[in-house]
Structure 1
């Protein structure tokens, strides 16, 4: 009996001095737990959990879910605290054998603070683009406002000449209402984009691209940049709409900056889609001259920027990759093609 307990006594010094929470489990029952995990769970003494079922504090997902952290994949689950709160964590399980008995050592890392910081970094990235977004709204609204102003002038002129008839007035008011509704929809699109929480919705990748391209439409037209979308029927999947719009917007804006910086004429961005059994892909191709082979492998690194005439934060593409890799949503890659660059966004369908 003494030897049997030695494994736990000898490990106490090790497990109680780690940042991670650690559980030792035998046949589903908790045999030891370190101080870090007790603090995370809100318990004061080990005795409150020893010999209890591990499923009392570990909540597995309905299907195996993995997250990329420090270039390694970890399983993501949840913990339930003494107060009933749910905490997101990643775990790594090691098998342990002692005196012909099998144990499992579970390493647990609390993701609460990390996820909150990650959410704020993504939100700050959105806010840093707000000036450009306001410019986009101005482009979206300029033509409708001009048209409405012209309609009001025509109504006033007819009224001054006593030639204002009901049919003409009804038509003018109906058209003005359509423009106002368009402007209202536009502002809603931008307002929704800036919300912090991005819940998953059942939709198509085509809708993501269409939403992003509509936001940029007027700006790109004013700078003679064409967006050509080759549509393809895709299966609807659960997607974080706002975050994926942010990814597409970032790539499109980077292409725009490259066109302007290099004075490219006949600027074209081509977008197409592909669906495989377990994945969907977005291809975003431009003719902006490509990225130097010396730096193309670094463009997803934090604080790395290729922009010379503008102050680039170097966080845009890094955040895009972060958005896609968290929760194993997908991935992004880039390569040079003839006269330009192609970004491939891969989305997992699981």
Structure 2
């Protein structure tokens, strides 16, 4: 009989061991998928946050080295670095494609880069990017990849984004592959350690249930007492048959034998524990759950608990459990989420401030334009008012001399009427410029430029400036005319001021239009002496001006208007003659 019981014990033990091994395999695979899913979810959230961290029109202005100010570049890097480190990521960055080449437009910094002082540069060539990343940019599809480049081996998520101006770029977030492998290795060790303990405990419990209590049992008990995990076994009636030292210490008991969960848990904890025990006994399966609560000395705690049925002769005779403390990891995760919420709040606040600043710049630009227009009205009206004055003086003289005739009165009337109509047309031109109409339609570039010059005509003539216009009549774009006019007014106004300041022998503003590689180009240059190189680097920065009474918002707002409303771009192509090139892309027009 003893021999038969021993064989039953051996079979039960090996059956239990095989069950534990199968459970370990499923547990590892399930947790591996969960870990990768958690990492990818974190990467996806971070990549999606990048457009909120950067200025909304950042990628509309990112055209070649120097197109973004050093201050803005550093601000982007700092924000991305803060977000990456708060979320345990290695890099956050953005990628664009120009021609056949790929470029990094901004990137966070790793601690290793800061230590070595070896940073990613704005608009750095990135042709060694993975093929999946390049394909994602070309196909505008999200992707996940593990690859190796000059910075190391990474697991990366990339999400295509489209700027307000229609420019496509990739927002990317990545972690070091070594970090992923470390997380998976840690889980593998945890599963094997947990399984080993369960097998060891099972051996001990089976021996106890068979009434064997010898030196080997004591050795096993001592081994179990050395672990920090909480280990227990109890009968199906809920009474504890034993527990290791860590379990007893946690609940402040010398021994757990004979006690029940009601002796150590509150009502809610007791309900959850009894429910999980019933599942183990009823379905004869291993279950895993996470459990949290409060402790009078330790405060908040969280455990990952695995419970297994103890089978003897095919019958469940008890429950074996092991609880692993993951309080530190849980609290770190909560802190990370709270930091993310705080950072998201800060990002939204920065976005709000940027929008307010932009609105303020727009308002300042309008006020500056209004002041400019008042001056132009004065120039436009000065000559016709002088002519009207002379006509009225002539009319008075003829009346005094008795030479006034019906014919001369009619002539004075017609001439005065013509001049007044001209002055009224001037008011209409200025009113059209300030009218807040937002209707887009196809318009001739030449006609819009000519109309804009008409506003400045008297001012240009007063300073002896000739405006040469060479624009084919067929060039058209879809736009709101007021937006286009404001940009051209800024450029011509700057050219006029430069010529007036430097007094060159030839006072010429040259405006030329043409088509190139699917784009409509408009170049504005002048003979005013050019722009110094140190100034040329900063002409598109807000509040930067070299004029004594300038606002520094004209060119900046011209750039904003072009990007956001005209689907175009502006660049300074030749500082020596202050040549600015405007590009309009008909394919992007709504």
Whether the TM-score (by the shorter chain) exceeds 0.5 is: yes
2:204 maps to which residue? none
2:252 maps to which residue? none
Cα pair 1:144 1:183 within 8 Å, conserved: yes
Whose strand fraction is larger, Structure 1's or Structure 2's? 1
Q: CA deviation at 1:276?
A: 4.2
Cα pair 2:509 2:524 within 8 Å, conserved: yes
Distance 2:446 2:506 in 1: 25
Q: What secondary structure does 1:274 align onto?
A: strand
Distance 1:140 1:240 in 2: 25
1:342 maps to which residue? 579
2:312 maps to 1:312 = no
2:377 maps to 1:134 = no
1:34 maps to which residue? none
2:462 maps to which residue? 222
Distance 2:367 2:163 in 1: 30
Q: Relative contact order, CA 8 A, sep 6+: which one is greater?
A: 1
2:440 maps to which residue? 200
Unaligned runs of 5+ in 2: 1-29, 50-56, 63-93, 97-139, 146-157, 165-347
1:253 maps to which residue? 493
Deviations 1:61-83 (A, max 9, x none): xxxxx994574799xxxxxxxxx
Who wins on radius of gyration, i.e. which is larger?
2
Distance 1:225 1:137 in 2: 17
Distance 1:286 1:108 in 2: 36
TM-score, length-scaled by structure 1: 0.66
TM-score, length-scaled by structure 2: 0.41
CA pair 14-69 structure 1, distance change in 2 beyond 3 A? farther
TM-align CA RMSD: 4.0
CA pair 294-117 structure 1, distance change in 2 beyond 3 A? closer
1:61 maps to which residue? none
CA pair 137-166 structure 1, distance change in 2 beyond 3 A? same
Cα pair 1:68 1:326 within 8 Å, conserved: no
1:302 maps to which residue? 542
1:323 maps to which residue? 561
Cα pair 1:123 1:194 within 8 Å, conserved: no
Distance 1:348 1:106 in 2: 21
Whose helix fraction is larger, Structure 1's or Structure 2's? 2
Deviates more, 1:284-293 or 1:158-167: 158-167
CA pair 106-209 structure 1, distance change in 2 beyond 3 A? closer
Distance 1:225 1:211 in 2: 17
Distance 2:163 2:424 in 1: 44
Distance 1:273 1:109 in 2: 27
2:316 maps to which residue? none
Q: CA deviation at 1:331?
A: 1.0
Q: CA deviation at 1:263?
A: 3.4
Deviations 1:235-280 (A, max 9, x none): 3332221111111111112122222333323221111111346322
- Counting only pairs closer than 5 Å after superposition, residues 1-350 of structure 1 correspond to structure 2 as 68=59, 71=62, 94=142, 118=358, 121-276=361-516, 278-307=518-547, 310-327=548-565, 329-336=567-574, 340-350=577-587
Distance 2:38 2:495 in 1: 59
Distance 2:504 2:432 in 1: 33
Cα pair 1:281 1:346 within 8 Å, conserved: yes
Deviations 1:42-78 (A, max 9, x none): xxxxxxxxxxxxxxxxxxxxxxxx994574799xxxx
Deviations 1:116-175 (A, max 9, x none): 875663243021232232111111001111111221222233333443333322222122
CA pair 261-106 structure 1, distance change in 2 beyond 3 A? closer
Would you say how many aligned residue pairs link Structure 1 and Structure 2? 280
Cα pair 1:303 1:313 within 8 Å, conserved: yes
1:56 maps to which residue? none
Unaligned runs of 5+ in 1: 22-65, 75-91, 98-103
Distance 2:501 2:511 in 1: 22
Q: What secondary structure does 2:442 align onto?
A: strand
Cα pair 1:332 1:345 within 8 Å, conserved: yes
Q: CA deviation at 1:186?
A: 0.8
